[in-house]
Amino acid sequence: MADRIRITQEKMEKLFRDLAEHGNFEISERDGSCYVAYMMNDAVEDYLILTQAEVIGDLPEGAGKIAELAVIRGEARDGLKVQMKDGTFCTVWYDESFRSMQCYDQSRLMHCWVPHEEYMRRLVYQVATMNDKEKYHPDGDIANEKERALTPLMQFRPFYFWSPIPSSIGAYYGETEEGIETFRKIAEEAGDTAMLRQLKRYRFSSWLFGPQTAIKVLRSEACYRVLLKKIREACAGYPRRSYGKEEDARIEEERKKITERFCGNGWHGMWPRFEKEKTAVEVFEEEPFTVLEQEDFTFEFKYMIEKRSGKRIRRGMTEKLDEAVASADE
């Protein structure tokens, strides 16, 4: 659990100015306090806490666009005036303000909103999240050295071609020599001489290359393995999310049941990877935030199925345990 740090009125005003500048705003009420999202993603939860909160009006539902956001000073208490572009309006009076910020290990998580090639899209999402920690956090760079070594990949077009969201993300990142060089070093470490030759041609005529280059990046098993290893190493120093003793125990019990299901059907291995003949299944997780999460969002498991045929590996995703367990028999 992250520590709460008391913040001054002046600091609150600056933080809320930042939020107003970015336009998105999300606030929720729980146990007599209001929680305001600052930067919330798989890798970091950063939010503000307003204690002994009294809400006048209606709190906005979910994230939305701000029309007006201001800290006001009352005779006895401070307040937050919120008006959303959808017309929602409220004032939150509170006693004290705190900030909570904690980085988390995202390497075992799966977030992807586009079908097919989810295994690559997941890595793009994770590197993009590291990039946000480095470049967009209001306190400056909060990424570690290993994360910073990977973030230039978001300036390499064939990598971010595999967008985890339905729309292209190219407009946010562009392409730089540093991005190409970062992937070249990964290919060099992987010993992929064919990819190194392809990158040499790409470097001097990238404008000629389209999605086919991205497909070759995707099909480089050696580069994929090196990148996967580097992401896991970069995340290794961070804790996993905790939801309290009772909920953590329930999640661990679910992991044990899944392990027993695989092992009881002829699979070998241990959590989170199981193998049977020429098929492997790796289990990933989708975690809710520890605060500011929708009530219907729960901890879920997702299964990446790997089918080996000679030197080639085909991957697919399923959310159904039955399909994952039966995948070796198909």
Q: What spatial distance separates the first Cα and last Cα of the chain, rounded to whole Å?
A: 44
| pLDDT confidence of residue 290 | 83
In a domain, 108, yes or no: no
91 or 19: which leads in pLDDT: 91
Cβ neighbours of residue 315 under 8 Å, at least 6 residues apart?
117, 118, 119, 304, 305, 306, 307
Average pLDDT over residues 22-45: 86
Task: Please state the pTM of the whole predicted model.
Answer: 0.87
Of 174, 208, 235, the position where a domain reaches its end is 235
| pLDDT confidence of residue 138 | 67
Pair (140, 220) in one structural domain: yes
Of the listed ranges 90-94, 187-191, 261-265, the least confidently predicted one is 90-94
**What is the distance of C-alpha 201 from the center of its chain?**
32
In a domain, 311, yes or no: yes
| pLDDT confidence of residue 62 | 65
In a domain, 12, yes or no: yes
In a domain, 32, yes or no: yes
Pair (193, 276) in one structural domain: no
Hey, what long-range contacts does 270-278 have (CB within 8 A, 24 or more apart)?
272/108, 276/328, 277/328, 278/307, 278/308, 278/309, 278/328
| pLDDT confidence of residue 58 | 82
Both structure tokens of 186 = 């990964």
In a domain, 19, yes or no: yes
In a domain, 285, yes or no: yes
Q: Give one word for 247, left, alpha or beta, with left for phi > 0 and alpha for psi -120 to 50.
A: alpha
Pair (253, 176) in one structural domain: no
Pair (98, 40) in one structural domain: yes
Q: Look over the chain and give the mean of its residue pLDDT values, rounded to a whole number.
A: 88
The answer to whether the peptide bond before residue 272 is cis (omega within 30 degrees of 0) is yes
| pLDDT confidence of residue 212 | 61
In a domain, 109, yes or no: no
For residues 213 and 175, what is the distance between their CA atoms, to the nearest angstrom? 14
Pair (142, 224) in one structural domain: yes
Pair (99, 137) in one structural domain: no
Of the listed ranges 122-126, 214-218, 309-313, the least confidently predicted one is 214-218
Both structure tokens of 54 = 């009294």
In a domain, 113, yes or no: no
pLDDT at residue 299 is higher than 90:
no
Pair (91, 122) in one structural domain: no
Pair (170, 225) in one structural domain: yes
Of the listed ranges 62-76, 90-104, 159-173, the least confidently predicted one is 62-76
| pLDDT confidence of residue 44 | 93
pLDDT at residue 198 is higher than 90:
no
Of 103, 126, 149, the position where a domain reaches its end is 103
Average pLDDT over residues 148-163: 93
For residues 43 and 104, what is the distance between their CA atoms, to the nearest angstrom? 5
pLDDT at residue 202 is higher than 90:
no
Q: Report yes or no: 38 and 48 within 8 Å, Cβ to Cβ.
A: yes
Q: Which helix (H) or strand (E) holds 157?
A: helix 157-160
pLDDT at residue 264 is higher than 70:
yes
Of the listed ranges 66-75, 102-111, 212-221, 282-291, the least confidently predicted one is 212-221
Average pLDDT over residues 324-328: 95
Phi and psi dihedrals of 75, rounded to 5? -65, -40
**In the structure, what pLDDT confidence band is assigned to residue 85 with cuts at 50, 70 and 90?**
confident
Q: How many domains does the chain have?
A: 3
Pair (84, 160) in one structural domain: no
**CA 222, 225, 226, 229: dihedral to nearest 10 degrees?**
-170
pLDDT at residue 1 is higher than 70:
no
Q: Report yes or no: 133 and 44 within 8 Å, Cβ to Cβ.
A: yes
Instruction: Report in angstroms the alpha-carbon separations of 86 from 59, 66, 74, 81, 140.
Output: 12, 9, 26, 15, 31
Domain span at residue 91 reads 4-103
Pair (10, 70) in one structural domain: yes
16 or 120: which leads in pLDDT: 120
Pair (88, 43) in one structural domain: yes
Q: Give one word for 17, left, alpha or beta, with left for phi > 0 and alpha for psi -120 to 50.
A: alpha
Of 56, 77, 103, the position where a domain reaches its end is 103
Pair (86, 166) in one structural domain: no
Residue length of the chain: 330
